Amino acid sequence: MTDRRSDDVQHDPAAGMAAIAVPTQEAFEAHLAPYAAHSAQSRGRRYSEAAPSARSEFQRDRDRIVHSTAFRRLEYKTQVFVNHEGDLFRTRLTHSLEVAQIARSVARNLRMNEDLVEAISLAHDLGHTPFGHAGQDALNECMREHGGFEHNLQSLAVVDDLEEHYGAFNGLNLCFETREGILKHCSRDNARRLGALGERFLEGRQPSIEAQIANVADEIAYNNHDVDDGLRSGLLTIEQLAEVELWQTHYDTARRDFPQIEGRRLIHETVRRIINTLIVDLIDTTKLNLVRYAPASLDAVRAAPALVAHSDAIAAQAATLKRFLFKNLYRHYRVMRMANKARRVVVGLFDAFTEDPRLLPPSYQAVDEAQQSRLIAHYIAGMTDRYAVKEYQRLFVIDDN
Ligand code: MG
């Protein structure tokens, strides 16, 4: 064994073989920087539980997320392209896995808690509605009079309340640091409602470095896979991308390195170079920030400015790519047509259920009328793309089935 747990292997002469002792919480995280989030110093769970015996607290959070129902639904939720448009486009699930991969690479290089960044990354989109941002905007519009709808807050609702897995509590009962990472942004009104978790939005403080890493990894992941999916779908062309410096620099390098390749292979050689450049720049710039601000603890990280950042030059290049995608992909007429259809489905469902809540499955029929809209929002937000379409057909299409 060569990994860090090898210290925990104890020789048991009586048995004549090596017995492996279970590592302590501290042993799992002994290699972390002092300002990383350590399980042993967690601000805890909402419902207290005995410490796990064969994994750290944040590993347990990651495992709970992977076993949740909401996590499996991500497979059939839109990232940009609706699930039925093709088998090879990203879904919320593969997006979340790419975020976790990027975030873990960064975390490992900075001696941050990989288990925590993985947990945050895998959970960050659990609250997304069907049909991506079109679905979220439509549901937010429907909920305008009832507190609105925000996917980020919904991710928190999923892990705090909506999952029904455990005997002792609703939700997954995750650690404060995992929940803090999931809640990327939050209005002041909502922050006041959220108690300790909302405080940083009112006080202008930062979350852990792990949360900051997951946040930037999300952007790195979607900027790159949306270019890839955009090209695959034919909505973007390589000629168009020539105006984006971040793309063109690495496209030229890839062509120089491999003059014989073209098509998908050339696109992938370009995209992997962009991802690598962004990750390395993020690690290097963050290291400089850590030297400059020298946080001694996680509390010092919270009080410092955002430490996980790109250099100015790369940040500007990444922003140009993002603007390009917004204009040329997210606003492409074919994406807009799908978004328009998605809006009709979400608004149609919401209105039908509001008009007559008896159409809802009984567990979503509120006893207290004031709660009905929120329960409808929970029901719709939990749907996969294809479930929402089926439900729409069940409510509005009369056929001979
Ligand atoms: Mg995301």
CA of 123 to the centre of ligand 1 (A): 9
How many independent structural domains does the chain possess?
1
For 127-147, give the DSSP string: TPPTTHHHHHHHHHHHTGGGT
CA of 273 to the centre of ligand 1 (A): 21
Judged by average pLDDT, the poorest of 80-84, 99-103, 372-376 is 80-84
CA of 294 to the centre of ligand 1 (A): 30
For 277-314, give the DSSP string: HHHHHHHHHHHHHHHHH---SHHHHHHSPP-----HHH
Each residue's pLDDT tens digit, 265-310:
999 999 999 999 999 999 999 999 999 999 999 999 999 999 999 9
Each residue's pLDDT tens digit, 103-160:
999 999 999 999 999 999 999 999 999 999 999 999 999 999 999 999 999 999 999 9
pLDDT-derived band at 391 (thresholds 50, 70, 90) equals very high
Here the CATH number for the domain that contains residue 188 is: 1.10.3210.10
In a domain, 31, yes or no: no
In a domain, 37, yes or no: no
In a domain, 292, yes or no: yes
Each residue's pLDDT tens digit, 15-29:
444 566 666 777 888
Instruction: State how far Cα 375 lies from the chain centre.
Output: 23
The token duo for 173 is 């009962």
Mean pLDDT of 73-82: 84
In a domain, 66, yes or no: yes
| Alpha-carbon gap, residue 139 to 178, rounded angstroms | 26
In a domain, 58, yes or no: yes
In a domain, 16, yes or no: no
CA of 353 to the centre of ligand 1 (A): 29
CA of 97 to the centre of ligand 1 (A): 10
In a domain, 296, yes or no: yes
In a domain, 373, yes or no: yes
- Its domain, for residue 99, covers 52-396
CA of 218 to the centre of ligand 1 (A): 5
CA of 93 to the centre of ligand 1 (A): 10
CA of 216 to the centre of ligand 1 (A): 10
Each residue's pLDDT tens digit, 343-369:
999 999 999 999 999 999 999 999 888
**What's the pLDDT at 84?**
67
Gyration radius of the chain over CA positions = 23
Query: Which H/E stretch holds residue 374?
Result: helix 372-381
